[in-house]
Copies of this chain bind each other. A is one copy, B any other.
Amino acid sequence: MNKALVVLSGGQDSTTCLYWAMNEFGHENVSSLSFDYGQRHKIELESAKKVAEIAAVTHEILPIDTFSVLGGNALTDNIDVDDTQEASHASQLPNTFVPGRNLIFLTFAAAYAYQRGINHLITGVTQTDYSGYPDCRENTLSSLEQTLRLGMEYAITIHTPLMNLNKSDTVLMAEKFGAMDAMAYTHTCYNGEQPPCGHCQACLLRAKGFAEADRADPLVERFQFFQD
């Protein structure tokens, strides 16, 4: 049996990965997992739930309270997101960075998978993203896969279908695997607005991807429908 677990943030990328996984492993073999780590915008978790519902796959939310005591960062604390992406730390990372966040998510996801006999983890990370998060890069994920295999004595594989794709390619992949209906309920806006603010870095990047792929964004269309 090839059971697969998709780490679902409720965003465009992980939603695309969910449909990729359904194509790769078969719909009945795919489940999804989100993390409630005290993110400022609960709409992310609502989006993940809605996406899983549309895709008709199992979805669970794991709480991680620990982040709140680890130290300040813009995505969990109630401080302004710095759109200029200036560094909050000497290593020149944007101030939305929770150090090792993805490592923590994926290690929890692996432990969850282990308990359920799931051997495949799918995450929507990409190293072509503007953010430059070191825990989203291919060499980090390869090293983590090795660590998890050794540390759990378990043959787990981490899949990163979007690793080397740009946003435009991701849009075309979403279309190819039938993710566009769910895409209308994904969340991207850094400011947590619905309809999306349209001017934060995340909204601009999303719009650029759809424009370059020459496709309409189902999320934008959903709100335009109500506005017309």
Which of B60, B110, B146 meets A143, CB within 8 Å?
A: B146
A113 to chain B: closest CB distance in Å?
A: 9
- Say yes or no for A84: interface residue by CB 8 A criterion: no
Tell me if A55 is interfacial: C-beta within 8 Å of chain B. no
Count identical subunits in the complex.
2
Does A104 sit within 8 A of B, measured CB to CB? yes
Stretch at the interface among A14-22, A63-71, A181-189, A220-228: A63-71
Q: Does A57 contact B (CB under 8 A)?
A: no
B residues less than 8 Å from A139 (CB atoms): 150
Query: Does A98 have its Cβ within 8 Å of any Cβ on chain B?
Result: yes
Q: A70: which B residues are within 8 A, CB to CB?
A: 62, 108, 111-112, 115
Known: A65-B63, A115-B70, A115-B99. A135 touches B108 (CB 8 A): no
**B71 contacts A100, C-beta separation under 8 Å:** no
Is A23 part of the contact surface with B, judged by Cβ < 8 Å?
no
User: Which 4 residue pairs of A and B lie closest in terms of their CB atoms, listed nearest first?
Assistant: A71-B115, A135-B151, A99-B114, A140-B150
